[in-house]
Structure 1
Amino acid sequence: MKTAILTPLQEELAILVAQLEQFGLQKREFRSGGLDIFEFGEVDLLVANGGHGKTQFGIQAQYLLCQVPQIQLLVCAGAAGALSNSLEVGDVVVATETVEHDYNLKFVSRPLPRFAGSHQIIEVLQSLPQTDSAFSVHFGAVASGDEDIVDAARGQELMNLTDCIAVAWEGAGGARACKFNQKCYVELRGVTDTANHQAAADFEANLVTAMCNLAQVVIQWRATLQPSGAAQQDVGAERREAIG
């Protein structure tokens, strides 16, 4: 399944691409319109920047899907704040669904928009063995909205409203683009903070760790889809040990 991963921020993209290379994957870089795209042909993967915020991410996701119609699965991959106490900084969240929490209708009363992640991909990710005890992989809903959650009370309110375990910005933009184009979608997030008054500083301090852990999940997942998947996982494990 040809897959594209879009990261909201350039910093996230740089870390993810560097980690994929350190795992031994060869990249080919090309430009399409305003997008710099990194292709990792061994695992049938494209990686690019999706832009900050739901709207920009949706625009760039739509553009990429038009330029590369062979893409069957789009992944939004980046940082998130933890809403649930079960999450630790550095953990990875696989969104079972993306909930657009800032879609605030006032004329009528309707449930918040919710976009299910691809069941097929989620099942594959659930079947992956946990090979690194430094972080855990969680499965649950992720809240999506153009709002920095930097207050514990607001974080608790949002968790109660949405039943989400983490919060980020762009997921709903990617989900809407995929729904429109009838493509599969899933959101992956590395936890950088706990959505409180220290969120901004924690984000900066923990982004590399969170994205490196997310990259480990991605490479383990993509390796299982190849005939030599087991061997690639072994190589990945060796490289993880080598880079600490």
Structure 2
Amino acid sequence: MIGIIGAMEEEISKLKEIMENKELNKIAGMEFVKGEIRGRQVTVVRSGIGKVNAAACTQILVDRFGVDIVINTGIAGSLKNEINIGDIVLSTDTVIHDMNVEGFGYKRGQVPRMDVFAFPTDDKLRSIAKEICEKELIDISVFEGRVLSGDIFVSDRATKEDLKKTFDGYCTEMEGAAIAQVAYLNDIRVLIVRAISDKADDSASMDYAEFERKAIENCVKLTTKLIETIDAPHYCQ
């Protein structure tokens, strides 16, 4: 079973429209829609915004729907000059950038007593997604790199530069690292897919509304093709 998480309804509504044999389950204030996309068994859900919502949503997918793969699709702010609005970032790993326990000797971003600093994502899923991007989304660029998450909408240059310098992140958003952390704890495969909707600087509020729609379109196209391509039962063995 593949779980698809989007933080906002706009990020998953198109996926739900193309689903067949839909079954709705309401759990913890979230609507989990189980069904088929392109012949694959999937559960699609809007988690809500922020790390707590995202983590709760992911654990429900594991416990109640038995997912083996989680794809988190959505939008993000670019942290690198070469990554432009509309481009896609595929996660190599994720870091919670607003985790700070430096007072106890931990590196900034480190979750205390966890055995990893950055939560890994799946290499094979990322490879498949990259190939799809290069074939299907030829008018944009695709990047592979670290996704940063925090309960902050980054919209100023000072914060952007700090995140770049500290974590070498490719983009910043508010859910991916929490999803990847839960996937890590449950030993399931995960990929964070982010379409760039703004540059995470002083232009963010100006760019966001204008470019959000196109960024979501790119994410939906990639996610749909990724579902088609993954041989989920074989892949999860």
Q: TM-score, normalised by structure 2?
A: 0.85
Size of the aligned set, in residue pairs, is: 220
Q: CA deviation at 1:110?
A: 2.8
* 2:69 equivalent to 1:73: yes
Matched AA of 2:46:
N
1:240 corresponding residue in structure 2: none
Please state whether the residue corresponding to 2:20 is helix, strand or coil.
coil
Q: CA deviation at 1:196?
A: 1.2
Alignment RMSD: 2.0
Q: How far apart, CA to CA, are the structure 1 residues paired with 2:185 and 2:88?
A: 27
- With 129-138 and 182-191 compared, the bigger mean Cα shift is at 129-138
Q: 1:85 aligns with which of 81, 100, 104?
A: 81
1:35 corresponding residue in structure 2: 30
1:63 corresponding residue in structure 2: 60
* 2:183 equivalent to 1:178: yes
8 A contact 2:93–2:119 mirrored in 1: yes
Q: CA deviation at 1:10?
A: 2.2
Q: How far apart, CA to CA, are the structure 1 residues paired with 2:13 and 2:182?
A: 24
8 A contact 1:92–1:189 mirrored in 2: yes
Q: How far apart, CA to CA, are the structure 1 residues paired with 2:163 and 2:84?
A: 18
Q: 1:127 aligns with which of 110, 121, 131?
A: 131
Deviation per residue, 1:137-170 (Å, 9 max, x gap): 2111111111111112221221111111111111
Q: CA deviation at 1:17?
A: 3.4
8 A contact 2:100–2:108 mirrored in 1: no
Aligned pairs for 1:1-244 (under 5 A) are: 2-18=1-17, 21=18, 26=20, 28-33=22-27, 34-38=29-33, 39-41=35-37, 42-69=39-66, 71-105=67-101, 106-110=103-107, 112=109, 113-128=117-132, 129-225=134-230
Identity of aligned residues (%): 24
Q: CA deviation at 1:111?
A: 5.7
8 A contact 1:29–1:36 mirrored in 2: no
Q: How far apart, CA to CA, are the structure 2 residues paired with 1:135 and 1:5?
A: 23
Q: How far apart, CA to CA, are the structure 2 residues paired with 1:181 and 1:60?
A: 13
Please state whether the residue corresponding to 2:62 is helix, strand or coil.
helix
Unmatched runs of 5 consecutive residues or more in structure 2: 110-116, 232-237
8 A contact 1:135–1:213 mirrored in 2: no
Q: TM-score, normalised by structure 1?
A: 0.83
Q: How far apart, CA to CA, are the structure 1 residues paired with 2:121 and 2:50?
A: 19
Q: CA deviation at 1:15?
A: 4.4
Unmatched runs of 5 consecutive residues or more in structure 1: 227-244
